[in-house]
Amino acid sequence: MRIILLGAPGAGKGTVAKLLTEYDGSIQISTGDILRSAVKEGTALGKEAKGYMDRGDLVPDELIMKLMEERLQQDDCGKGFILDGFPRTIPQAEALKQLLAKLKMNLDFVVNLEVPRDVILDRLTTRRTCSNPDCQEIYNIKSNPPTPDGKCKKCGSPVIQRDDETEEAILNRLETYQEKTAPLAGFYERDGILKNFESIESQETVKKIKAALG
């Protein structure tokens, strides 16, 4: 499959993407994960991106497009991909459209995950992330806690609250989403490839997406 996952921070894009990779071997491409690894490794991209990310602002479109232009041409994309957290702005969506045309790739459709705002807020403030850049497993202190001493169940690394998960940064991310990313639903609706999914429980949502894929 080739799909884009749209949805607010905390809508469950990462979880849904991971479950979908198990369906047909398509890979998950998360710009957030790529950027966090770059920050951790201290690459030039990471150094440029860190300040924006910590404040909950978007990283500039040019940086993201450079990254994605390279990423989408790697061999593993031949298996199909699930774009998680990209595109995030209208200019990114327009650039992606041209890039996909150039690479002769069609999208199946764009999945818009619709989640009530109170659910989103609750999830974001209780979310914790594995600090190992190669793992980045997501936990929730209420519904899916790490080990009692705060370690990742998969890799044993400490599970942390991300710098962009302070209350101030969370509110900024939600505002940025409304302003910059929410308009993408209209963009893809006009292209006739948008599908809306009410999503509270990820497994259920994945079933519905699979059914839509046929």
Residues within the interface to Zn ion (CB under 5 A): 130, 132, 135, 137, 152, 154-155, 157
Catalytic residue among 13, 36, 50, 123: 13
Q: What are the angstrom distances between the C-alpha of 196 and each of 74, 75, 90, 145, 202? A: 29, 30, 18, 29, 14
- Alpha-carbon distance of 93 to 86, in angstroms, equals 8
Closer residue to ligand ADP, CB minimum distance, 37 or 211: 37
Does position 23 interact with ligand ADP (CB under 6 A)? The reply is no
Least spacing, CB of residue 53 vs ligand ADP, in Å? 4
Closer residue to Zn ion, CB minimum distance, 113 or 159: 159
**Token pair for 164:** 């962009």
- The rounded Cα 120 to chain-centroid distance in angstroms is 14
What residues between 82 and 141 interact with ligand ADP by CB under 6 A? 85-88, 92
**Buried-exposed string 116-155: b where 16+ CB fall within 10 A, e elsewhere:** eeeebbebbbbbbbbbbeeebbbbeeeeeebeeeeebeee
Binding partner selected for residue 130 from ligand ADP, Zn ion, none, CB under the kind-specific 5 to 8 Å limit: Zn ion
The answer to whether 2 is a known catalytic residue is no
Catalytic residue among 50, 123, 127, 128: 127
What residues have CB less than 8 Å from 83, skipping those under 6 apart? Answer: 3, 4, 5, 29
Residue selected from 1, 9, 15, 152 as contacting ligand ADP according to rule CB under 6 A:
9
Closer residue to Zn ion, CB minimum distance, 105 or 155: 155
- Alpha-carbon distance of 38 to 83, in angstroms, equals 18
Closer residue to Zn ion, CB minimum distance, 4 or 17: 17
The answer to whether 162 is a known catalytic residue is yes
- Alpha-carbon distance of 161 to 85, in angstroms, equals 19
Q: Which residues are near ligand ADP by CB under 6 A?
A: 9, 31-32, 35, 52-53, 56-59, 64, 85-88, 92, 164, 173
Q: Which residues are catalytic?
A: 13, 88, 127, 162, 173
